[in-house]
Chains A and B, each alone.
Chain A
Amino acid sequence: MSFISIVLLPLLCAALPWLASASQRRRAALFAAVAPALALALLLSYWPQARSGEVLLGGASWMPALGVNLSFMLDGLGFMFALLVLAIGLLVILYAHYYLGPEDDPRRFFSLLLVFMGSMLGVVLADNLLLLVLFWECTSLSSFLLIGFRQHRAESRRGARMALTVTGAGGVCLLAGALLVGRICGTYELSALLDQRELLQGHPAFPLVLALVLAAVFTKSAQFPFHFWLPHAMAAPTPVSAYLHSATLVKAGVFLLARLHPLLSGNDLWFYAVSGTGLLTLVFAAWVALFQHDLKGLLAYSTISHLGLITLLFGLDTPLAVVAGLFHIVNHATFKASLFMAAGIIDHETGTRDLRRINGLARHMPFTATLVAVAAAAMAGVPLLNGFLSKEMLLARAVSLDTGTLFDWAVPVFTTLAGAFAVAYSLRLFHDVFFNGDPVGLARDPHEPPRWMRVPVEVLVVLCVVVGLVPEAVVGPLLAAAAGGVLLGDVPQYGIHLWHGFNLPLALSAVALACGVALYVGLQRGYDLHRYRPGGLSGLRAFDGLTAAFARGATGTVAAVQNGSLQRYVAILVAITVLAAGIPALHARVEPGEAPLLPMSLPALAVWCALVAASIAVVVLHHRRLVALLATGAVGLLVSLVFLYFSAPDLALTQIAVEVVTVLLLVLALDHLPQHDRVERDRPRRWRDAGLAIAAGAGVSVLAWGALTRAPDSISEYFIRNSLPGGGGANVVNVIIVDFRGFDTLGEILVLAVAGLVLHALFDGVSLARAGRPASGWAADLHPLMLRLLAPFLLPFVLAIAVHLFIRGHNAPGGGFVAGLVASAGVLVLFMSHGRAEVSRALGALASAGASPGDTSLRLIAAGVLVAVATGIGAALIGYPFLTSAHGYLKLPVLGDIPLASAMGFDLGVLLVVCGATLLMLGVLWRLGETPAGPRPASIPEGR
């Protein structure tokens, strides 16, 4: 089994706890413990390799082109961290089993814990830097869910949100930093990266890389000024705090320091940034911890302070400091996890964590008191315990600093000062909880916890003592292996011993101890710590202010851009389009091509002048709507002339037909709208719009000019060659529509059909007149006499023309689209001359009895789509691709040869859909203005 299973086991087994039911708490915990236990056993089987300094690599490629691989690495450093994660994880699962209350679902808790565990193992065992970033984000997300485990509490949600925001921001920085590293060094594999220090540090972007990575480290490891999320994360259940916020998650930051130490360290930037931040955090957080009234708050600030200590050690950047840093990571994990668990026990047994209320518990829980005494002493750095040893190593490094700056003095002085603070807050923790008077207003009678709940604490406390007494034997080899991983094998000769003789570090330790005791006694006597009220500037307030400012900024931006005005949106869209197309065009050289041009002709110039004049007329006269509408119609007719002139008779025909129908529709619509525009007073807006319009027009002109002056590169040769032999039609345009590109056309008539259906669905049976508006003028008008008399005679002619256009369409200008439009125009004229009611009656009689005209149109559309699809399927049935056409000639006695192609069936479908959709639209618009009774009493029975 590969060592990769160490990472995969917890992730894969995250679903195991769900096999238990919500009430089977013991079973859920047992299931949860399976994966860590197996993974721990597997990890320990790799101890010989880790000890000998062998680096195991493995994994699979994932996105090799991007340099992202599922590659893992197990070295001494990874081994040590994985051991911490798994061992403390097991203890936490045991502890959590007793801690979780009846309202906490253990399955969800353990499941999330396993996901976190797997992510954390991924971080410490990843070889690929981007994979590490991925797992790093997973730890942020899973810790978000764990902190917010008790979702019903506002403080949980808020703490979780804050932790996610801060560490998530760090994660983004880390991603950026990792990408930069990969760009500079050409690989993301840590195993290959770590000896590229010169290449990376010689690069001008190195300070940026360092800043980004350190941003991730400092946010994750809660270094000043990003420390504030950690105290708020104490809203998490205590097992989570013990696991994430003392032993593992917050150590991910310092792990990254250790992991990237070979790559990033060894320069002044690293030295001052890392050790400076560490020192500041160490002192500041220790001082703040002293004034916390919340038991877990005190521990949180103490954690921040100790993380500062570790950061400081890595910043000092000597091999021995690195060893001390790694040592302190282990030590801190043991004593702080045990203290958190003890805090959870106290919370569990008393119902509060307020140091001002839980006093004098020594009588009630003497055994726990002893455990806390030992762990707190380790935290304070009392001799014979593990905390003393690493603190002693720090002091030894601090006094041997030799930079020739103020730093040489500042580090030992402030370290000793922080040591004194640590002694004071440890003393306060112990004294306040177990002595210092009697409990104040506790909800229940405190007593010792269940036997097994104490076991994890006992194990960790015993470790504190054993490591403190015989360090070299217990953690020596582990530490050596881990240091080998960080220092790439160049581990100096060192020995961790309890007794180094009388020297300066020992003296400083003694001073810290004495000052700490004096400080606590002094504060308690002279100041009464319980009366202290926190206030002033806090990170929380800054965070809240910052997030509120972001929210305000976002709201402001949205309000400025999206003010709800469609008019403005359209203007912005046009402006952006003009800019997006215009800016590159400014840089490119826009010049005409060299294709031969057509000479200008007088008729063309005349049409051009008329077109420009009509367009300008539409713009200038658009306040007088009917006039503008007529001018638009004129433009449309001129456009059809353009088509005709440039050899596109089909387009010209279609354009004329569409133009007629469109203008009639617009007239109908105008009947329901104001006849005049309101006067626009906003002169600047008109100028702005005019500017935009001219820019857009100029851009399109330049584009068209550029294209038109270049030789075409068309695929049409194929269509022209195959139109007759393949499609059986001489009108290439029509053959393309119904045969070559028949599938496109099918899509297009469907669009038409859907547009018709949408109108029908929206407005069927809706009469605007019903909404309290008087019947509009025209609908109630008597219809003009001449039109009324002529229209019925016109209709057969129009329909005959439509049939003619349809039949000849395959070989001459015409076809289903045009025929459909012409037929609709004929009906439309009838509409206008006789009113809808009569026409509906006529149409209703034409179609089945009892159908409304809307239904008639719908049937036309449906029939058209069916016919079109059926021709296609017909081809498919005889083994040709969908919509393949067959053709031949039909000899009729009078009409002569009629060319027949199966594509004509398809064209018939097109005709029906066009006709149906157009009539449907007409009907809808027409009906919108009618009173329910209709314009004339005689028209009531309209077949509904």
Chain B
Amino acid sequence: MELLVASGIGVLTAAGVYLLLRASTFPVMLGLTLISYAVNVFLFSMGRLAIGMPPLLREGGDLYADPLPQALVLTAIVISFAMTALVLALAVSLHAGSGSDHVDGPPPGGQP
């Protein structure tokens, strides 16, 4: 199971990095989203994997998944959402302002 998670994180990272390196803003944003998934799962998995042991205290229970990485990741999810929104707005305004959605702006002298 651990192998699945580790390789899953790797696939997400690889897909994210590839898209991050594209020239247009939209794939870059998709890439950032994928990378933030990968990072979140990675952080979460640092508490190790546990099945059927949610950290909700109950009578007689003594085995729980590690709640701390979960708490960290929960806020991280929301923050990365805010960052995505910010980048989105910047990308949209870049395109509107320059007529190009290339991350480097329109080529000097070339058509958009």
Assess A733 versus B74: contact at CB under 8 Å? Given A598-B1, A921-B89.
Answer: yes
Using a CB-CB cutoff of 8 Å, which residues 896-939 of chain A contact chain B?
A: 914, 917-918, 921, 924-925, 928
Assess A925 versus B21: contact at CB under 8 Å? Given A598-B2, A639-B40, A731-B55.
Answer: no
A residues less than 8 Å from B50 (CB atoms): 646-647
- The docked-state distance in angstroms from the alpha carbon of A689 to that of B25 is 16
Using a CB-CB cutoff of 8 Å, which residues 76-102 of chain B contact chain A?
A: 77-79, 81-86, 88-93, 95-97, 101
Among B42, B45, B67, B89, which residue has its beta carbon within 8 angstroms of that of A736? B67
- The docked-state distance in angstroms from the alpha carbon of A723 to that of B23 is 48
Size of interface on B: residues with Cβ below 8 Å to A = 82
Cβ-closest chain B residue relative to A712: B48
Q: Is the CB of A632 within 8 A of B34?
A: yes
Assess A697 versus B11: contact at CB under 8 Å? Given A666-B29, A692-B17.
Answer: yes
Q: Is the CB of B101 within 8 A of A673?
A: yes
Assess A689 versus B24: contact at CB under 8 Å? Given A632-B30, A704-B45, A730-B57.
Answer: no
- The docked-state distance in angstroms from the alpha carbon of A924 to that of B90 is 11
Of A383-391, A622-630, A839-847, which stretch is located at the interface? A622-630
- The docked-state distance in angstroms from the alpha carbon of A648 to that of B65 is 8
Of A3-11, A71-79, A752-760, A871-879, which stretch is located at the interface? A752-760
Q: Is the CB of B86 within 8 A of A758?
A: yes
Q: Residue A399 at the B interface, CB < 8 A? A: no
Q: Is the CB of B10 within 8 A of A736?
A: no
Cβ-closest chain A residue relative to B94: A673
Q: Is the CB of B47 within 8 A of A714?
A: yes
Q: Residue A566 at the B interface, CB < 8 A? A: yes
Q: Residue A179 at the B interface, CB < 8 A? A: no
- The docked-state distance in angstroms from the alpha carbon of A762 to that of B41 is 32
Q: Give the residue among A598, A697, A707, A771 with the most B Cβ atoms within 10 A.
A: A697
Q: Residue A719 at the B interface, CB < 8 A? A: yes
Q: Give the residue among A648, A665, A677, A759 with the most B Cβ atoms within 10 A.
A: A648
B residues less than 8 Å from A712 (CB atoms): 46-48, 66
A residues less than 8 Å from B70 (CB atoms): 648, 650-651, 733
Among A611, A715, A716, which residue has its beta carbon within 8 angstroms of that of B11? A611
Q: Residue A798 at the B interface, CB < 8 A? A: no
Chain A interface residue count: which class? Answer: 35 or more
Using a CB-CB cutoff of 8 Å, which residues 660-676 of chain A contact chain B?
A: 661-662, 665-666, 669-670, 672-674
Assess A647 versus B104: contact at CB under 8 Å? Given A570-B20, A700-B9, A755-B83.
Answer: no
Of A295-303, A512-520, A811-819, A886-894, which stretch is located at the interface? A811-819
Of A106-114, A331-339, A737-745, which stretch is located at the interface? A737-745
Among B2, B15, B96, which residue has its beta carbon within 8 angstroms of that of A693? B15
- The docked-state distance in angstroms from the alpha carbon of A323 to that of B81 is 79
Q: Is the CB of A759 within 8 A of B86?
A: yes
B residues less than 8 Å from A736 (CB atoms): 67-68, 71
Q: Residue A597 at the B interface, CB < 8 A? A: yes
Interface string of A282-312 (1 = CB under 8 A from B): 0000000000000000000000000000000
Cβ-closest chain B residue relative to A700: B13
Q: Is the CB of A733 within 8 A of B55?
A: yes
CB distance from A922 to the nearest CB of B (A): 8
Q: Is the CB of A914 within 8 A of B78?
A: yes
A residues less than 8 Å from B49 (CB atoms): 598, 646, 708
Of A212-220, A269-277, A613-621, which stretch is located at the interface? A613-621
Using a CB-CB cutoff of 8 Å, which residues 26-46 of chain B contact chain A?
A: 26-27, 29-30, 33-34, 37-38, 40-42, 44-46
Interface string of A712-726 (1 = CB under 8 A from B): 101110011001100
B residues less than 8 Å from A639 (CB atoms): 37, 40-41
Among B27, B56, B97, which residue has its beta carbon within 8 angstroms of that of A813? B56
Assess A647 versus B86: contact at CB under 8 Å? Given A654-B77, A696-B14.
Answer: no
Q: Is the CB of B66 within 8 A of A714?
A: yes
Assess A647 versus B44: contact at CB under 8 Å? Given A566-B104, A635-B37, A697-B17.
Answer: no
Assess A665 versus B88: contact at CB under 8 Å? Given A598-B1, A639-B37, A697-B10.
Answer: yes
Q: Residue A649 at the B interface, CB < 8 A? A: yes
A residues less than 8 Å from B75 (CB atoms): 737, 744-745, 748, 817
Cβ-closest chain A residue relative to B84: A662
Among A600, A625, A649, which residue has its beta carbon within 8 angstroms of that of B26? A625
Assess A821 versus B78: contact at CB under 8 Å? Given A693-B15, A708-B5.
Answer: yes
Q: Is the CB of B77 within 8 A of A678?
A: no
Q: Is the CB of B67 within 8 A of A662?
A: no
A residues less than 8 Å from B103 (CB atoms): 566-567
A residues less than 8 Å from B41 (CB atoms): 639, 642
Cβ-closest chain A residue relative to B97: A771
- The docked-state distance in angstroms from the alpha carbon of A731 to that of B104 is 46
Assess A773 versus B96: contact at CB under 8 Å? Given A708-B48, A745-B75.
Answer: yes
B residues less than 8 Å from A564 (CB atoms): 104
Cβ-closest chain A residue relative to B99: A773
Among A636, A704, A813, A925, which residue has its beta carbon within 8 angstroms of that of B37? A636
Secondary structure dominating the interface of A: helix
- The docked-state distance in angstroms from the alpha carbon of A611 to that of B16 is 13
Q: Residue B52 at the A interface, CB < 8 A? A: yes
Cβ-closest chain B residue relative to A601: B1
Q: Is the CB of B85 within 8 A of A755?
A: yes
A residues less than 8 Å from B97 (CB atoms): 771
Q: Is the CB of B19 within 8 A of A697?
A: no
CB distance from A817 to the nearest CB of B (A): 5
A residues less than 8 Å from B9 (CB atoms): 700-701, 704
Among A618, A658, A661, A812, which residue has its beta carbon within 8 angstroms of that of B30? A618
Assess A708 versus B71: contact at CB under 8 Å? Given A693-B14, A724-B57.
Answer: no
A residues less than 8 Å from B33 (CB atoms): 632, 636, 662
CB distance from A701 to the nearest CB of B (A): 3
Q: Is the CB of A643 within 8 A of B44?
A: yes
- The docked-state distance in angstroms from the alpha carbon of A565 to that of B105 is 9
B residues less than 8 Å from A703 (CB atoms): 42
Q: Residue A655 at the B interface, CB < 8 A? A: yes
Q: Is the CB of A655 within 8 A of B77?
A: yes
- The docked-state distance in angstroms from the alpha carbon of A756 to that of B88 is 12
Q: Residue A794 at the B interface, CB < 8 A? A: no
B residues less than 8 Å from A611 (CB atoms): 8, 11-12
A residues less than 8 Å from B58 (CB atoms): 730
Q: Is the CB of A696 within 8 A of B17?
A: yes
B residues less than 8 Å from A373 (CB atoms): none
- The docked-state distance in angstroms from the alpha carbon of A693 to that of B75 is 27
A residues less than 8 Å from B45 (CB atoms): 646, 704, 707-708
A residues less than 8 Å from B92 (CB atoms): 669, 672-673, 768, 925, 928
- The docked-state distance in angstroms from the alpha carbon of A813 to that of B54 is 9
Among B47, B77, B95, which residue has its beta carbon within 8 angstroms of that of A673? B95
B residues less than 8 Å from A647 (CB atoms): 50-55, 64-65
Q: Residue A543 at the B interface, CB < 8 A? A: no
Q: Is the CB of A732 within 8 A of B13?
A: no
A residues less than 8 Å from B5 (CB atoms): 642, 704, 708
Assess A618 versus B15: contact at CB under 8 Å? Given A604-B4, A611-B8, A736-B71.
Answer: yes
CB distance from A152 to the nearest CB of B (A): 39
Q: Is the CB of B64 within 8 A of A917?
A: no
Q: Is the CB of B104 within 8 A of A619?
A: no
B residues less than 8 Å from A704 (CB atoms): 5-6, 9-10, 42, 45
B residues less than 8 Å from A773 (CB atoms): 96
A residues less than 8 Å from B54 (CB atoms): 647-649, 813
- The docked-state distance in angstroms from the alpha carbon of A452 to that of B85 is 78
List the 9 shortest-distance A-B pairs measured between CB atoms, nearest first.
A697-B14, A701-B10, A768-B96, A693-B18, A647-B65, A598-B1, A732-B67, A705-B6, A736-B71
Sample 17 A-B pairs with CB under 8 A, ordered by A number.
Answer: A601-B1, A615-B15, A635-B12, A648-B73, A651-B70, A665-B84, A689-B18, A693-B17, A697-B12, A701-B13, A731-B55, A736-B71, A741-B71, A744-B75, A773-B96, A921-B86, A925-B89
**Contacts A733-B74, A928-B93 given; 7 further ones with Cβ under 8 A?**
A643-B44, A708-B49, A733-B70, A748-B75, A918-B81, A925-B92, A928-B96
